[in-house]
Structure 1
Amino acid sequence: MLSRPLLRSLPRRTTTPSTLLRRRYSSAHFDSPAAGARSADGTSTTTPAYTTEEKIPTWFLVSTGAIFATYMLYAYIMPTENSPFTRFLSVDNPTRKAQEEISNRHTAFIEQAAKDKHLLLGSEGSPTIEMRFPERINIHSPYNLPAGHTRGVLMDKLEEHYKKENPPK
């Protein structure tokens, strides 16, 4: 083992935190193709196998070609009086007339529904609701009733009342 005076005479290597981090996380530590072989002075001796050329993406060329082809197609079928494109878009087209008629009917139905809604919401309704089946009042469980309360007592009066209001036809 070396003695302390001898160690003090040797030049010390400075170890700053940045050099420690560089040593710890350097890519030359791994056997990766990106690291390459290092020479004594720290420079790489090999060139990477891949190229760094940037090419125009295929999707860009396809979309540009599609836009250009669409423009050329439009220029070829320029709207004239007899072209199918113009006939399809014309107002006299029977399909367009049928669609217009359906749309007008639909609009009329929607407007009528809105008028009916406002008519019903604006009117004052009856505070009572007519019962169609008064016998449903008597449908209940005979159990869990408080003492002295039975539902069947007033049923005769209720039936007479509804028979007066709604006589049988």
Structure 2
Amino acid sequence: MMPIRQRAAFAARQARVAIARPAAIKSTSAVRFGSTESHGDHHDHHDHGHAAPVDEPMGTAFFVFLGAIPFTYALYSLSRPGKDGEPTVIETYINKLSYPTTLWETRNSLHTAAIDQATQDKNLFYNVPRNTHVELRNPEVFMSGSPYNVPAGHNINLDKVVEHYRQEHLKEVARQASAAAKAKE
């Protein structure tokens, strides 16, 4: 509908221009206003008429539609069952790609077992009391504060604490050594 409308509008414009300006008026107006001195040279090459008709190609939609016809026929012929009730070509191809039912059952049972284990682990993590005791590997951590600007009487002697953790470390090293000696025997 649009090309017909465009052609009708073009024909109406051409008729209007032809009626409004006879040939004698056109020639005098060209002499009167068409000098190159007043407008410059850049207006001489302009063609103020209409553009030439363009040869339009068929377009993508036409070729897509043309290609859809054999594709539809091929799809229809592949979707028809074979002789004596054999499965269709598409159905046999899909059955080749799909899992057998035993694999699905195995997969589902493994998935269920993994979810059960995750539930048990989550319950364990939420309900077990937390161990708040922290073993310090370096006793210097207690004295990590600044030695400057400490008010009088606020400096605490931590020698007993350091000695306690040193003894704990020696006991642990001795226990590990005796365990290693028993393992070798």
Q: TM-score range by the shorter chain?
A: 0.3 to 0.5
Q: Which has the higher helix share?
A: 2
Q: Output the TM-score relative to the length of structure 1.
A: 0.47
